[in-house]
Structure 1
Amino acid sequence: MPTLTPDSAPGPAPVRAMRPTRSLADPSDGQLAVLLLLPAALLLGLIVVYPIGRLLYNAFFDIRLSGVDAVPAFVGLRNFIDVLHDPDFWNATRNTLLIAAITVPGAFLVGLPLALLANMPFKLRWPIRLALLMPWALPLAFSGLIFAWFFNTDYGIVNDILRRLGFAPVSFLLMPGWAFAAVCLTTIWKTSSFVALILLAGLQTIPRSLYEAAEVDGASKWQQFRYITLPMLVPSIVVAMIFRTITALQTFDIPFTMTHGGPGNSTMTLAMLINTTTIDYLDVGYGSAQAAFMFLISLAISVFYLRFVRGGGDK
């Protein structure tokens, strides 16, 4: 047998360092992150994930609350197929998309000059900024009632002005084209202040030194606006457009209080149709299928915006 010398004798086995266990009183970075995010995750699941999951679940059932012995029955995709063949759904979808296509750019075109005016360097800026807050602070239904009075045929202020100018009064809310235009005008007035406030916040982040350098180089006010203000304001514009588009697809209060979807169904939106189906007709299953399509439309447009933002950030 080979003999072991003191130099070749094996030493003691290395001892692995034991990781100290952390308690909730002294959490690690990962544990602290989980603890901080857990309340938000629970709240998100409670007010977003569960309602959407319940909505999609109800869409596969025939749930009618109009009968005493009504029992939910599984119908598979029948509700979704019926929605696709429903002319009222396509009419409401067309109205909703058209309102969004008109009011979102309209709110931007009105809100941008208001934001530029509120950002001008003069001392009495607070009345302008206060004026921006007032339309945004008013409830949507209250704004709809105000403009319904403005456009009333008999005692509205718009027809009163027309009479004083020698013109015949117009039944704005009783004619499809005029009623739709009145709803869009009211929505633009209500939402342009929100867009202006977001753009105003973006304007205040632009360094003043950029404008001073442009003035030294002889740039005009239009050139400063085109090559400094607009490019620096793109992130704020995108954020404002995302929020405005999503809320435009959910338009309910203003057309409901002004026209109740009429005359006919000319101002009926998806949100109003879903409310009529579920609240008036008590058809929860079919209304859930309609709401599922509305959710898919909002999701598709949101993904488009996010891809646009990501594409702009990669450039």
Structure 2
Amino acid sequence: MAVTIKPPPTRTAAPAPLPEAKPGALGARDRTFGFLLAAPAVALFLVVGVYPLLAGIWTSLFDQSLIRPERAYVGLDNYRSVLPDFIDRLGTTLVFASLATVCPLLVGLALAVLLNARLRGRGLLRGVLMLPWLLPGVVVSFLWAWIFNDSYGVINHVLAQLGLPEVDFLGQPATAMAAVVVAKTWNSFPWVMVVVLAVLQTLPREQLEAAAIDGASRAQRFRHVSLPHLIGPVALVAMLEFIYNFGSFDMIFVMTGGGPGTSTMTLAVSLYHYAFTSFSLGRAAAMGVLWLAALSLVCGAYFLLNKKLESRS
């Protein structure tokens, strides 16, 4: 009987471990490729954002006009000249931005709660209520300027048919700001409604059902279950809307032009008048720099609020 002897198994050497790359280490080619990818965006930002900002700050130090080519260095004289107007226009801008933020917020919140209920035809109603948001601001401005017109406006026509005295809504300081806020509210409430409705659609149904079983009314369920979930998104929407309204120009310019008097003269409209009515580019640039400083404070408040809400979640 032949006996076969198996050779001992041969051990193969383990492959040498690959050198670990240092975290964040990139080769020269990778870094160059990354810089090339970012270069167009950086160049566009410098041309569109940084250069106009620096040019505006530089222009604010000169007595420069649109109707004469020469200019003279005046230092901070332009800032001293426009500072009283800036303080007055800042107050008007804050009034408009506050009203044009709170009113759409209340209307959008109420409509979102209504459309969240089981209503017949609510899908069609949602689409119809979105139409004001789809229209450009200039179109909305002309539409409401026609509605509030003192001679052939719809509202005054209805008042005349009812035997009531007609009102010059856009020609009186007491009503001009209210008319612009109404137009702005009609144009802005849909996006607030959409945000709030989206949050309401994602609420935990088990909490609402448990509150209903415990005997909570619809108002109590909204206050104690829905409202805590809405505070964060609504606060961010309000800050974004306030920032946008702080720089709003088209609606006020089309409907009132800043008048009557200076009752609706915001910072944006005032800057336009400095540049294209008084032809003073230096003072317009100074007003713009002060406006930018005030807007930076508002944006800073928004970032702080956003960070605070993120830390809570």
Matching residue's letter, 2:61:
F
In structure 1, C-alpha distance between the alignment counterparts of 2:197 and 2:36, rounded to whole Å: 36
Are residue 103 (structure 1) and residue 100 (structure 2) matched?
yes
Structure 1 residues 18 and 104: alpha-carbon distance in aligned structure 2, compared to 1, 3 A threshold:
closer
Listed as ranges, the matches of 1:1-315 within 5 Å are: 22=27, 27=30, 40-67=41-68, 70-84=69-83, 86=84, 88-122=85-119, 124-315=121-312
Matching residue's letter, 1:230:
L
The aligned counterpart of 1:3 is none
Q: CA deviation at 1:114?
A: 1.6
Q: Deviations over 1:81-100 (max 9, x none)?
A: 2121x3x4333222211111
In structure 2, C-alpha distance between the alignment counterparts of 1:302 and 1:186, rounded to whole Å: 25
Structure 1 residues 207 and 42: alpha-carbon distance in aligned structure 2, compared to 1, 3 A threshold:
farther
SS in 1 for 2:130: helix
Matching residue's letter, 2:55:
R
Structure 1 residues 21 and 301: alpha-carbon distance in aligned structure 2, compared to 1, 3 A threshold:
closer
Asked if the contact 2:236–2:302 (Cα under 8 Å) also holds between the matched residues in 1, the reply is no
In structure 1, C-alpha distance between the alignment counterparts of 2:81 and 2:110, rounded to whole Å: 45
Normalised TM-score (structure 1): 0.82
In structure 2, C-alpha distance between the alignment counterparts of 1:150 and 1:292, rounded to whole Å: 36
Structure 1 residues 149 and 71: alpha-carbon distance in aligned structure 2, compared to 1, 3 A threshold:
same
Structure 1 residues 21 and 306: alpha-carbon distance in aligned structure 2, compared to 1, 3 A threshold:
closer
In structure 1, C-alpha distance between the alignment counterparts of 2:192 and 2:72, rounded to whole Å: 45
The aligned counterpart of 1:13 is none
Q: CA deviation at 1:31?
A: 8.2
Q: What RMSD in Å do the two structures reach over aligned CA positions?
A: 2.7
The aligned counterpart of 2:7 is none
In structure 1, C-alpha distance between the alignment counterparts of 2:199 and 2:37, rounded to whole Å: 29
Asked if the contact 2:133–2:187 (Cα under 8 Å) also holds between the matched residues in 1, the reply is yes
**Of 248-257 and 211-220, the range deviating more from structure 2:** 211-220
Structure 1 residues 274 and 217: alpha-carbon distance in aligned structure 2, compared to 1, 3 A threshold:
same
Q: Deviations over 1:98-145 (max 9, x none)?
A: 111212111111110122233334463322221232111111111111
**Of 291-300 and 38-47, the range deviating more from structure 2:** 38-47
In structure 1, C-alpha distance between the alignment counterparts of 2:48 and 2:125, rounded to whole Å: 36
Structure 1 residues 229 and 36: alpha-carbon distance in aligned structure 2, compared to 1, 3 A threshold:
farther
In structure 2, C-alpha distance between the alignment counterparts of 1:291 and 1:173, rounded to whole Å: 27
Count of residue pairs brought into register by the alignment: 292
The aligned counterpart of 1:10 is none
In structure 1, C-alpha distance between the alignment counterparts of 2:118 and 2:37, rounded to whole Å: 42
In structure 2, C-alpha distance between the alignment counterparts of 1:233 and 1:46, rounded to whole Å: 40
Normalised TM-score (structure 2): 0.83
In structure 2, C-alpha distance between the alignment counterparts of 1:224 and 1:40, rounded to whole Å: 48
In structure 2, C-alpha distance between the alignment counterparts of 1:296 and 1:50, rounded to whole Å: 17
Structure 1 residues 18 and 244: alpha-carbon distance in aligned structure 2, compared to 1, 3 A threshold:
closer
Asked if the contact 2:240–2:302 (Cα under 8 Å) also holds between the matched residues in 1, the reply is no
Q: CA deviation at 1:308?
A: 2.8
Structure 1 residues 167 and 314: alpha-carbon distance in aligned structure 2, compared to 1, 3 A threshold:
same
Asked if the contact 2:150–2:167 (Cα under 8 Å) also holds between the matched residues in 1, the reply is yes
Matching residue's letter, 1:228:
V
Structure 1 residues 32 and 120: alpha-carbon distance in aligned structure 2, compared to 1, 3 A threshold:
farther
Structure 2 gaps of 5+ residues are: 1-18
Asked if the contact 2:156–2:167 (Cα under 8 Å) also holds between the matched residues in 1, the reply is yes
Asked if the contact 2:61–2:73 (Cα under 8 Å) also holds between the matched residues in 1, the reply is yes
Structure 1 residues 31 and 119: alpha-carbon distance in aligned structure 2, compared to 1, 3 A threshold:
farther
